[in-house]
Amino acid sequence: MDGGTAIAVEHVSKKYCKSLKRSMFYGVEDIGRNIFGLSSHPDRLRNGEFWAVDDVSFEVKKGETLGIIGPNGSGKTTLLKMLNGIFWPDKGKITMKGEVGALIEIGAGFHPLLTGRENIYINAAILGMNKKDVDEKFEDIIKFADIDDFIDTPVKFYSSGMFVRLGFAVAVHCEPDILLVDEILAVGDTSFRNKCYKRLNEIKSEKNAAILFVSHDLYIVERFCDKGIFLNHGKNKSYGEIHKVIEDYQFMMHQLMKNQQSVTDPASKECCTKEVKITNVKFLAQDGKEQKVFNFKDSLIIRIEYESKEIVYNPNFQIILYGYDGKLISVFGPHLDNIKIPRIPNGKGMMECCIEKLPLLANTYYITVGMYDKTRTITFDYWASNANTELTFDILPNRVSTTMGQWTPICHFDSRWLIDGKQLDQT
């Protein structure tokens, strides 16, 4: 490990057991073997165990940001927890050079019965700050978190967004040499996320800190990170320059979605139960007029018209966006924005997804639309482009680039959802 390296991960693996009861038994067994000087054979899998992280290696230089991407269950958070010392690896070696700050779980290290003020001191102490340093930075912390009115309120009354703002404010004002950030920033609103990314860049340049950044928002990962690592089922599938890693991830997701589409082909009547039937899908401009051509940063409304045979409780709508070449760009729906649809009545209705300032470059895009039950395992209806329906729209070339639209990273859209003209709010 040379002087410029902040983090070195060498052939690291971590195993878990699917059964809690069996896991507790294995834990007692391992303790007993260690007491008597016997090896617990951490390199072997026992009945019911699996590798959550499997033989992963990488390094992060000082002043460098590494993006960790991959589908749910790929081992991203487990890896971050090992780097933060919460878990020990079963195999391999982790070397960290410098003070570590971590934002892995919302409210981690906060006592719910204590106030925001008291939790700042406790959380900062856990991160290695003394009282004098906290006193000096206290006003900056609460100003960054923007919770002045609630600083003396017990944090059990805080929303998830307030938790994130306070936790992030404490972590970044500790000025760590290494900062670990999980995807909890997705909870915050757009303005706060932008403030967070600006602060992370300041820490990176001024402190020469190494940052590990986990997110499903590949648009942000591509902009913010220098290098990347793509994990799937605990294994390192791609590592290196960020554009290449994202491209590898996109290719895998595209193949996965193609397989899913073959199963849920709308031509197959068996897959759609038709309790709710999609009758039309339209692309609208901000003024409500239907159109198929937009400019970069225009607003887009996707209107899904439907007819229900009965009252349906807690339904789910999902839209999947693809590029001209079939590469997956984004998946969005009310449930992904923590919005719950209580019910839809029988008869005709419409759902609208309002996207502000499309972050898409010159290209042709198409979508698929699905309506599902509350568990998202039963498909009511499904629409995709076919011989009779073309769910496509175009983004015109802009002055920045006319060719970059050939490859657009998967991105997150800040969207509003309306049903029968009434806006749905987050739960």
What percent of the chain clears pLDDT 70, i.e. is strictly above it?
A: 84
Interatomic CA distance for residues 237 and 249, integer angstroms: 9
Are 347 and 362 in contact, with CB atoms under 8 Å apart? Answer: no
Asked whether the predicted pLDDT for residue 12 surpasses 90, the reply is yes
Q: What are the tens digits of pLDDT across the range 97-120?
A: 988 877 766 566 688 889 999 999
Cβ neighbours around 421 below 10 Å, total: 8
Q: What are the tens digits of pLDDT across the range 122-149?
A: 888 887 788 898 999 999 998 888 888 8
- In order of their start, the domains of the chain are 5-251 (3.40.50.300), 264-423 (2.70.50.60)
Residue 56's pLDDT is: 95
Q: Which two structure tokens, joined as six digits, stand for 241?
A: 């320059």
Greatest mean pLDDT among 26-40, 95-109, 122-136, 177-191 lies in 122-136
Asked whether the predicted pLDDT for residue 268 surpasses 60, the reply is no
Q: What share of the chain is helix, strand, coil (3-state, %, to 5)?
A: 30, 35, 35
What's the mean per-residue pLDDT of the chain? 82
Residue 60's pLDDT is: 94
Are 263 and 271 in contact, with CB atoms under 8 Å apart? Answer: yes
Q: What are the tens digits of pLDDT across the range 349-402?
A: 999 999 888 877 777 888 889 888 887 778 888 887 654 456 777 776 544 333
Q: pLDDT category, 263, cuts 50, 70, 90?
A: very low
Asked whether the predicted pLDDT for residue 253 surpasses 90, the reply is no
Instruction: Estimate to the nearest angstrom the gap between the alpha carbon of 183 and the chain centroid.
Output: 5
How long is the chain? 427
Interatomic CA distance for residues 381 and 360, integer angstroms: 27
Mean local confidence (pLDDT), 405-425: 69
